[in-house]
């Protein structure tokens, strides 16, 4: 006589013993339905639409599912059925390490995640293409946020070719796409104006490889593809050039300007009395190098950062910087993307959703790292 004995439920498979031989059979909705004596739809509702069942019946179904090791409908199958993956991407130009080490990027991603939380959408981090691996082409997504990427990125091209809902952040968007930026030009202008009003004439701009000495200003529009870098450079020059100041300019790809560039700047034959930095992280390098070469801040050198990172008010001396509302930027980007996804599905746009192109204000925060130059 043939005997069937369930041995153990393991994951989504049930191990059974048939005449002494153990075999594995995949546990499905139908397996649970057969055991409980209900339809597949009733079991599905127990997981995805609990309001359709009585509490007692749902509890019974879930108990049997747990006994069999069934954790619920397959996510891939559910995604196909509803035409949605339940995930959105954030495309980064830099390595994923930047997302976890740069305080502004980390805070932005946290704000995006908080904005998405009520929707149930998951967040997927995408890097730019690495050889044949192109996450923007291969990963299933409902939409994506393009965060401070170079316009010619092949990953952006793939996202557009997939016709996904997109929101562009910290860059000029292609026609027809919503965007979130901060008023970088105005913020940089306020920082430069502060130094001019303090009386500084020898000013350096540390945006991020080649040094452009005074009197040899580069074409700002062609310096980098980075929208943020261009806008901040324009803002600085908006105030310095009318004041007759021709600054030394050092440009390097974002997030790679380290102490060596600050040292080259301060070792010049006629070093600056003030430095305007692309970010607070770069300003931190300048502070460290200045101390190493015996310069006092702000008596010998004034330093201005950008972003108002959490550490800016705690370093010594506290850093003068331009503040941006990173939390608002992340929440706004998330709201725009959710609205775009809903519109793509034919739902009406949320009346409370923000405008499709949002520019957030900046403000200068004056602290102890700036002072008039020594006479």
What does residue 284 show for φ and ψ, rounded to 5 degrees?
-60, -40
Specify the pLDDT at position 86.
87
Specify the pLDDT at position 225.
63
Ramachandran region, residue 342 (left: φ > 0; alpha: ψ -120 to 50; beta: rest): alpha
User: Quick check: bond before 136 cis, omega within 30?
Assistant: no
Specify the pLDDT at position 221.
47
Specify the pLDDT at position 9.
40
Specify the pLDDT at position 252.
64
Please state the length of the chain: 375
Beta strands 13-18 and 21-26, pairing class = antiparallel
Helix (H, G, I), strand (E, B) or coil at 150: coil
Q: Which domains does the chain have, with CATH numbers?
A: 4-73 (1.10.260.40), 87-181+326-354 (3.40.50.2300), 184-324 (3.40.50.2300)
Specify the pLDDT at position 81.
54
Given a contact cutoff of 8 angstroms between Cβ atoms, the answer to whether 336 and 189 are in contact is: no
Note down pLDDT in tens along the chain; length 375 residues. Answer: 333 333 334 444 444 444 544 444 678 888 999 999 999 999 888 887 888 999 999 999 999 988 888 887 765 555 555 557 889 999 986 667 777 888 999 999 999 999 999 998 999 999 875 666 788 888 889 999 999 877 777 889 999 999 999 999 998 888 889 999 999 999 999 999 999 999 999 999 998 644 445 555 555 544 556 788 889 999 999 999 999 999 998 876 544 546 777 888 888 888 999 999 999 999 999 999 999 999 999 999 999 999 999 999 999 999 999 999 999 999 999 999 999 999 887 755 444 455 589 999 999 999 999 999 986
335-to-11, 136, 168, 352 alpha-carbon distances in Å: 36, 21, 12, 10
Non-local (6+) Cβ contacts of 184 within 8 A are 228, 231, 232, 235, 362
Q: What is the DSSP letter of 277?
A: E
What does residue 169 show for φ and ψ, rounded to 5 degrees?
-125, 135
Specify the pTM.
0.77
Specify the pLDDT at position 313.
97
Hey, what are 273's tokens? 């009395």
> Which residue bears the tokens 């593809």?
225
Specify the pLDDT at position 222.
47
Given a contact cutoff of 8 angstroms between Cβ atoms, the answer to whether 84 and 142 are in contact is: yes
Specify the pLDDT at position 224.
57
């Amino acid at each position: 006589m043939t005997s069937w004995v369930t041995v153990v439920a393991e994951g989504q498979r049930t191990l059974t013993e048939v005449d002494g031989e153990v075999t594995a059979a995949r546990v499905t909705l139908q397996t649970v339905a057969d055991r409980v004596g209900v339809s597949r739809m009733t079991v599905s509702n127990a997981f995805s639409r609990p309001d359709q069942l009585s509490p007692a019946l749902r509890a019974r179904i879930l108990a049997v599912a747990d006994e069999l090791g069934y954790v619920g409908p397959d996510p891939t199958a559910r995604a196909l059925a509803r035409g949605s993956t339940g995930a959105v991407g954030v495309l980064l130009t830099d390595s994923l390490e930047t997302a976890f080490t740069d305080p502004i990027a980390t805070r932005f991603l946290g704000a995006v995640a908080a904005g998405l939380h009520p929707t149930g959408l998951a967040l997927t981090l995408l890097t730019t293409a690495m050889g044949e691996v192109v996450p923007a082409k291969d990963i299933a997504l409902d939409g994506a946020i393009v965060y401070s990427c170079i316009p010619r990125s092949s990953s952006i091209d793939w996202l557009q070719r997939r016709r996904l809902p997109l929101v562009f952040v910290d860059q000029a968007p292609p026609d027809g796409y919503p965007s979130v930026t901060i008023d970088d030009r105005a913020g940089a202008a306020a920082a430069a104006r502060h130094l001019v009003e303090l009386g500084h004439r020898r000013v350096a701009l540390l945006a991020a490889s080649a040094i452009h000495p005074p009197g040899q200003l580069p074409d700002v529009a062609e310096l980098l593809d980075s929208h943020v870098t261009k806008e901040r450079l324009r803002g600085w020059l908006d105030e310095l050039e009318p004041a007759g100041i021709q600054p030394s300019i050092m440009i390097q790809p974002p997030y790679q300007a380290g102490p060596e560039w600050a040292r080259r700047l301060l070792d010049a034959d006629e070093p600056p009395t003030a430095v305007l930095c692309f970010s607070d992280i770069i300003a931190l390098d300048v502070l460290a190098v200045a101390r190493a070469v015996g310069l006092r801040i702000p008596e010998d050198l004034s330093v201005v950062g950008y972003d108002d990172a959490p550490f800016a008010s705690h370093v010594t001396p506290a850093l003068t910087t331009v503040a941006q509302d990173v939390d608002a930027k992340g929440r706004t980007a998330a709201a725009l993307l959710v609205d775009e996804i809903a519109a793509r599905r034919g739902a009406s746009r949320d009346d409370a959703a923000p405008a499709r192109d949002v520019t957030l204000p900046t403000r200068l925060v004056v602290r102890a790292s700036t002072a008039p130059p020594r006479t």
